[in-house]
Amino acid sequence: MGYYVGVIDFNPNAVGVSYADVFFNVSTIDIEGVTETAKQFQPDGIVTLATDMPMRAIASATKALGLPGISMETAIRATDKGEMIKAFAAHSVPSPWYFIVENEEKLASIQKKITYPCIMKPLDNSGSRGVMLIERAEKLAESFAYSVAQSRGAGVIVEEYMQGSEVSVEIMVIGGESHILTITDKLTTGAPHFVEMGHSQPSRFDEKTKEAICEVARGAVKAIGLENGPAHAEIMVTKEGPKMVEIGARMGGDCITTHLVPLSTGIDMIGATILLACGKVPDVAPKTAKGAAIRYFTTDSGVLESISGAEAAAAIPGVQEITFVKEPGEAVGDIGSSTDRVGFVIAQGETAEEAIGICEKAIDMVTITIK
């Protein structure tokens, strides 16, 4: 795109550093540090792609420099699950019942109001970290200890256990208008941690259900006050209809928006996000209609000894990428969060079902040995 790129990260060995024209060793959650660095660099736009952590720093920096961006109020609603769900309720966006719990005293005060099963998760974390399904009252205190340990101090949220099929909606918001790029079907581990193990596009749901999903997603965008930028809305399709899980004022992770959206729609969501951050209006019209999918490699807990068959799997027609995030000698554990996954395969097909089948064929060809 021809831009001169500055990268900020606490880790000087972060993957993106080698691609940067200039690197600043500053934490992305250091609001003052990011703002001062932005003043020094004087960018035309500031973006993060698929993580919530830097959102408040970006809101501060864009305001200080007079650049397009989200407000601090929107950044808070998009990164604090308590403020988020309160915004949903205030704007009548379908969502679960909830209690915000900052400490053990608050937990004790709401015990008799909770119905089971329910979900508990940290107010300020992501990637399924600290998420628990609680099936009975006797597990409440134990679950609180687990979940609050994954919070950076804000506490947890206890909410209705919504049963159904989870999807996400990939959105570009331009001038307050939500442009729905696609709906993503999700595959998770289920209880107790609900770690995402796969995604596919386009959604298998019928048109009436998809429109209901999109209506809820648009309502969530308005509820958090997002006027410009990408959004990733996670929704549970229940027997009562679609209900919000949560929304991010950024691109979806897990390769959903960086890889699957371009493969299934032809839309360059990264490019669109950069253009919008620089005050330009991107083209977000679909260019193609294909199927795309990602599936994750998992294994038993232990020490990773070897991975074989990946080259043959990569040669399967339709496979776009196979990547492993764990190396031989590393410890691997049971799937408790997205960081426990071993790797992934991405495929494109004429339909979502075909792309899923290609991923599954590739996974079957790979042998992961644990000792």
Predicted confidence at residue 44, as pLDDT, reads 98
Count Cβ atoms within 10 A of the Cβ of residue 176 and give its class: 0-12 exposed, 13-18 middle, 19 or more buried.
exposed
- Measured distance CA(298)–CA(117) in Å, rounded: 27
Half-sphere exposure of 224 (CA within 13 A, CB side): 35
Helix (H), strand (E) at residue 347: strand 343-349
CATH (one of 3.30.470.20, 1.10.287.3510, 3.40.50.720, 3.30.70.1170) for 164-277: 3.30.470.20
Report the side by side order of strands in the sheet with 229-238: 241-248, 229-238, 165-174, 177-188, 196-201, 291-297, 343-349, 319-324
Q: How many residues does the chain have?
A: 371
Q: Minimal CA–CA distance to 299: which of 235, 229, 370?
A: 370
DSSP string over 183-249: EEEEEE--TTT--EEEEEES--S-HHHHHHHHHHHHHHHHHHT--SEEEEEEEEEETTEEEEEEEES
The CATH number of 97-160 is: 3.30.1490.20
Domains 164-277 and 291-370 belong to one CATH topology: yes
Q: What is the CA radius of gyration of the chain?
A: 21
The CATH architecture that domain 291-370 belongs to is 2-Layer Sandwich (3.30)
Phi-psi region of 225 (alpha: psi -120 to 50; beta: other; left: phi over 0): left
What 3-state DSSP class applies to 344? strand
Domain ranges of the chain: 6-70, 97-160, 164-277, 291-370
Q: pLDDT (tens digit, 0 to 9) for every residue of the chain, 371 residues total?
A: 999 999 999 999 999 999 999 999 999 999 999 999 999 999 999 999 999 999 999 999 999 999 999 999 999 999 999 999 999 999 999 999 999 999 999 999 999 999 999 999 999 877 678 889 999 999 999 999 999 998 887 799 999 999 999 999 999 999 999 999 999 999 998 877 788 999 999 999 999 999 999 999 999 999 999 999 999 999 999 999 999 999 999 999 999 999 999 999 999 999 999 999 999 999 999 999 999 999 999 998 999 999 999 999 999 999 999 999 999 999 998 888 888 999 999 999 999 999 999 999 999 999 999 99
Tell me the β-bridge partners of 169.
183, 233
